[in-house]
Amino acid sequence: MEISTKYISLIGIFLFIAIISQTDISNIINIIQNTRIEYILLSYLAIPITILLKGIRWKKIIDMVGLKYKLTDSLKALMIGTFVGTLTPGQSGDLIRTLYLQDKNPSSKSLSTIIIDRLLDLFSLALLGFTGIIIISYWFQHTMYSLYLIIIIPMGLIAIITNKKLLKKISYFFLIRFIPTGNRIDNNQKKDTTKHKGNILHIAERKKTYIKECFNEFYNSLHTINQQKKQITCLLAITLTIWIIGAVQTYLVITALNINISFLYVLSFTPIIILVNLIPISISGIGTRDISMIYFFSLIGISATYAISASLLLLFILWTELSIGAVLWTLNPRKIKI
């Protein structure tokens, strides 16, 4: 990864520092100290349910494209992917799941299942987000054009990805930079290859071949899945359920802070916040989640202090979930270059 890309995620950290510097920290501490623990404990129930549903969904995609992988293995790889993904900008590290699935399956086809899995997330979030914006705009009697932009971007991305000819023209740069190819070169090897242009060309050619395989396998997998309409409906139902559970978790955390808020309002803005968190300027949504929460809380007259408190609690719960993936990663690590 290039230095400029590596440090772009610090933007979210700077945003968070700027927000905190304008807030009374003692008030945040006081609000969190008065948290109703029973609601926080209930919110933790969402973690195993969500992990299981995501594991089942990915396992279904794997089965649909003709690969073999146990549900228990998919759950382990998923939790590791969530751990690494949340610690990388735009959750690009989630692609590490490829390195586990390819232990028993072709590498390029394994990667296609993860891309399709993430596309389902993106599509469902955009759909829920669009619905949420309509509801929020109706409540406040004005059109929120800036929020529509958040939805247009992922929908445009989906349109590009599902258009083979268009994607082929613009994707190679992205694929070369972010897809784990297995062609790992350590520092000593890099020094050697700079002296031997033939080796560099050989490595580049192998990488180019792998990219073409990934590209073709992705569209082959997409075509195969498209023939299974009932399974697609099932995948969409599971995905929508996952995000609704996420909204319930957010609602429980907000309620734990003794905030009176409508569940429908939380359900409307939660997918929008998740989409904002996917912007690759933050790690774990730090900064982006906070500023989004402040915005939506301000619309109903709730102070930024409560918004930041809710955001911090959600971050703590997220890190609790990530600890599972961290342990599994430690027990069965993989080398990856993002």
- Spell 296-308 as b/e; 16+ CB within 10 A means b: bbeeeebebbbbb
C-alpha distance from residue 48 to each of 14, 42, 106, 181 (Å): 32, 12, 29, 31
The full set of domain ranges for the chain reads: 3-331
Whole-angstrom Cα Rg for the chain: 21
More confident residue, 106 or 331: 331
Q: What are phi and psi of 237, to 5 degrees?
A: -65, -45
Confidence band (pLDDT; 50, 70, 90) for 67? confident
- The dihedral sign for the CA sequence 105, 106, 109, 114: positive
3-state secondary structure of 171: coil
pLDDT tens track for 210-222: 666 777 777 777 7
pLDDT reading at 167 higher than 60: no
Look up residue 300 and give its DSSP letter: T
User: pLDDT at position 135, please?
Assistant: 85
Confidence band (pLDDT; 50, 70, 90) for 336? low
Across residues 231-248, what is the average pLDDT? 92
- The answer to whether 100 touches 209, Cβ cutoff 8 Å, is no
User: pLDDT at position 281, please?
Assistant: 78
pLDDT reading at 187 higher than 80: no
How far apart CA 203 and CA 184 sit, in angstroms, is: 10
* Mean model confidence pLDDT for the chain: 79
User: pLDDT at position 190, please?
Assistant: 44
- Span of 140-149, 229-238, 253-262 with lowest mean pLDDT: 140-149
Across residues 173-191, what is the average pLDDT? 46
- The dihedral sign for the CA sequence 122, 244, 272, 96: negative
User: pLDDT at position 267, please?
Assistant: 93
pLDDT reading at 309 higher than 90: yes
Residues sharing a CB contact under 8 Å with residue 238, sequence separation 6 or more, in sequence order: 53, 56, 57, 60
User: pLDDT at position 259, please?
Assistant: 92
Burial (CB < 10 A; 0-12, 13-18, 19+), residue 71, is: middle
More confident residue, 102 or 201: 102
Across residues 108-115, what is the average pLDDT? 82
Across residues 258-282, what is the average pLDDT? 88
